[in-house]
Amino acid sequence: MKRNELKRKLQRGEVVLGPFMNCSYPAFIEIVGLAGFDFAIIDMEHGPLEVETAEDLCRAGQGAGLDPIVRVRKNDAPQIQRALDIGSAGVQVPQIETREQAEAVVRAAKYQPIGMRGISLFTRSGDYSVYGLSGITDRLNEEQMIVIHIEGVRGLENLEQIITVPHIDVIFLGPYDLSQSFGVPGQIDDPRVINGMRMAVGKIRDAGKAAGTYANDVETAKRWIDAGVQYISLSVDVGIFATACRNLLAPFRSSGS
C-alpha cells in the first residue's frame, strides 16, 4: 500500500481537488493525475464501473501521482471491503443519515482493533503478500481513508452526532441530493441548500474534520473553498470532455462554418 499523500494534505489543512470518474478507459484517470489533480473519485454509484475496472483505474491513477477514492453504491460492508481491497486510497460512502450508519462504515472499512473488515491480504491493498503480512492491517488502517456523504435533511439534522464518530476523514456534502431532499431538485443555489451546507461546513470544521463537496465549475469551487471546504470534487470526466468538445466546436458553429 502506497503512502496516502491525499490524507496528509488534508491533515495539513490544504485544499485538494479531484473529479469524479465515470469512464473505464485508464488513460482518462492517468491524464487527470498527470494534469496535477490530487485525487479522483472512481464512481461505482452513478457510473457504470465494476470492481475489476475500478482496480485498473486505481493502478493508472496512482501511477500518475494521484490518490484514487472509490465511491460505492451504498453503505454495504462487502462493497466497502472490495473498494479498499483493490488498493484504493479510500472509500466514499453515500447517503449517511445517522451516527449508527456512520459507525457501520467504520466497522466495514477498518480492521481490528477499530473495525471488523474481513481479512484477505492476498489482494492489491496487501501487495499480494509479497512483502509479508506483519503489521499490514495497522498500516492499512492508517493509510486508507473514509469519506461519508451527507446528502439529505435527516443527515443534516443528525450531523452533530455523526461528526463525533472517529476515523472518518471527510464529510462530503452532496448539493444535488440535498436539493432534492429540500424539495427543490437540481436547484443547488436555493437558499435552503446553501444555508444548510454552510451550517454543516462550520460544524464539520469545528469538530476537526475535513468538509467536502461537489462543484461543477471554478466559481462554485472557489466559493466553497472560501467557506472552509477542503475536499473539492471538481466536475466529472465526461462533463469535462463534453465542455471541451463544445468549446472546440463553438467558433466554427457560430461563424456558420
Pairing of strands 90-93, 170-173: unpaired
DSSP string, 184-219: -TT-TTSHHHHHHHHHHHHHHHHTT-EEEEEESSHH
Catalytic residue, chosen from 46, 74, 222, 246, is 46
Cis check for the bond before 113: say yes or no (omega within 30 of 0).
yes
Q: Are 179 and 193 in contact (CB under 8 A)?
A: yes
Q: Does the active-site annotation cover 46?
A: yes
Q: What is the crossing angle of helices 77-85 and 99-109, to 10°?
A: 40
Q: How many CA atoms lie within 13 A of 116 on its CB side?
A: 6
Residues tagged active-site? 46
